[in-house]
Amino acid sequence: MNWRGRPLTDYRTMIDLIASTRTKAGLIVKVRRDKRKYKTGVEIPAKEIEKLNIRRT
């Protein structure tokens, strides 16, 4: 895999590339690695998802 022609060889490379992302409108992306383990197959109730601060533009 690669991003903008750079090979994704480790987490630091991926984090640095994602963190350098900018949009024309000036959006700056902040990123950090989450090392926690998560259970798979967990269902999130719709009411919990509605509480998230995510908006489609």
Q: Domain segments of the chain: what residues?
A: 1-33
Give the predicted TM-score (pTM) of the model.
0.46
pLDDT of residue 53: 86
Q: Which residues pair with 3 in a beta bridge?
A: 6
pLDDT of residue 1: 52
- Tokens read off for 39: 């259970």
**Along the 57 residues of the chain, how does pLDDT read in single tens digits?**
545 677 778 888 888 888 888 888 888 878 888 999 999 999 999 999 989 988 776
pLDDT of residue 44: 92
Euclidean distance between CA atoms 38 and 40, whole angstroms: 6
pLDDT of residue 40: 94
